[in-house]
Amino acid sequence: MEADGATPSARKPLNELFCSLPTTIFEVMSKLGGAAGTKRAAAPPRPRPRAPPPMSSARPAAPDPAPPPHTRAQGIPVDWASETLVTVGATEGLAAAFLGLLNPGDEVVMFDPMYDSYVSMARRAGAVIVPVRLALPDLSVPLEELAAAVGPHTKMIMLNSPHNPSGKVFSLPELEAIAELCIRHDVIALCDEVYEHLVFGGAKHISLRSLPGMAERAVRLGSAGKTFSFTAWKVSGARGGLHLHPPLPSTLGPSLEVKRRYLEGELTALGFGVLPAHGAYFLITDISKFLLPGEDDVGFAKRLTVEGGVTTIPVSGFYVGAAPPTHLVRFCYCKEDPKLQAAVERLRTYLGPGGKGSAQ
């Protein structure tokens, strides 16, 4: 994955502990060696059976002369040497950003519902999460509530677009409102854009970092795992490093759109309410019609898994604020077509007319 703009120029102090540490001697020597074009002149290594070949330097000797994909797609110039960081998946980038940028007590505004790993990492950094709830059913940003949530104690706004769990792609007016607040209150934006290439239905992904005044205060996270469809591998490279081939992502959006349309049609026909979305590979559904008396989304998801053979994620688990909605579940549709069809068949059997699990 990539994290660029790794040192935002916001004036509020970044993590004091990490900032107080000197640059390690390894970093100093690697840079020096890289600049001088030398290899490490240490004692010859002891021979080891099947040892990997020695690394020539921590970074490639020269950047790829072609503009990096993210510059091409978003028009944001990036200094590969000082503004990119290769991490083990976006997961490590998120951890690095929360731990490196926040101090205990800093407030982080996050949109509810959210990818759950933000919560543990931000809390591990000692931060205080200030949730702002996206409005249902279209998950639009409540601009007045957002403005009220951002203030002098706000250190960071966490933005995930395209969004997990909903697939929402934040609109330009929403991004402009967020940027305006970041600049007004001297706030860092942490932009999780791991699904940046998985957009469809006429939607366009716009990086918050590309808006005026945001490049110096935004950290942008991408994920090769998501972009190149090998999620869970947690492997990636910074721009100019690995030559990952750009055409592939452009085919992903359209192929996912076909899957989404198929699943949306089938779920709607069964009686699910499907929330709108134009990105990622998630789909939130309203399950009110299927809930048994006293049952919530967790109960429904468990029942559907055990009795119906289809696993969904209860959306209440993605909320950090009090009293989350309990009538929504998330489907994930980045599956091979036969698997999707088999899942739909099981849903029909279990929830369709005459099915055992239907509360209709």
Q: What does the binding site for ligand PLP look like in residue numbers (CB under 6 A)?
A: 1, 89-91, 115, 160, 164, 192, 194, 223, 225, 231, 234
Closest CB 231 distance from ligand PLP, rounded Å: 5
* Structural tokens at position 114: 């959210």
Closest CB 162 distance from ligand PLP, rounded Å: 8
* Residue whose CB is less far from ligand PLP, 1 or 110: 1
Q: How far is it, in rounded angstroms, from Cα 113 to Cα 329?
A: 12
Strand partners, 147: none
Angle between helices 247-270 and 337-351 (to 10 degrees): 10
* Residue whose CB is less far from ligand PLP, 133 or 185: 133
Say how many C-beta atoms besides its own lie within 10 A of residue 184's C-beta: 10
Closest CB 225 distance from ligand PLP, rounded Å: 4
Q: How far is it, in rounded angstroms, from Cα 282 to Cα 302?
A: 19
Closest CB 216 distance from ligand PLP, rounded Å: 23
Closest CB 174 distance from ligand PLP, rounded Å: 17
Asked whether 104 and 127 are in contact (CB, 8 A), the reply is: yes
Q: How far is it, in rounded angstroms, from Cα 272 to Cα 327?
A: 11
Closest CB 22 distance from ligand PLP, rounded Å: 29
Residue nearest ligand PLP by beta-carbon distance: 89
* Residue whose CB is less far from ligand PLP, 74 or 164: 164
Closest CB 200 distance from ligand PLP, rounded Å: 17
* Residue whose CB is less far from ligand PLP, 231 or 349: 231
Burial 263-277 (b: 16+ CB within 10 A, else e): bbebbeebbbebbeb
* Residue whose CB is less far from ligand PLP, 168 or 185: 168
Asked whether 220 and 193 are in contact (CB, 8 A), the reply is: yes
* Nearest 10 degrees: Cα torsion 348, 349, 350, 354: 100
Asked whether 120 and 129 are in contact (CB, 8 A), the reply is: no
Q: How far is it, in rounded angstroms, from Cα 127 to Cα 105?
A: 5
* Residue whose CB is less far from ligand PLP, 164 or 326: 164
* Residue whose CB is less far from ligand PLP, 90 or 304: 90
Asked whether 270 and 352 are in contact (CB, 8 A), the reply is: yes
* Structural tokens at position 324: 């989350």
Q: How far is it, in rounded angstroms, from Cα 73 to Cα 66?
A: 13
* Residue whose CB is less far from ligand PLP, 12 or 236: 236
Say how many C-beta atoms besides its own lie within 10 A of residue 77's C-beta: 12
Closest CB 347 distance from ligand PLP, rounded Å: 23
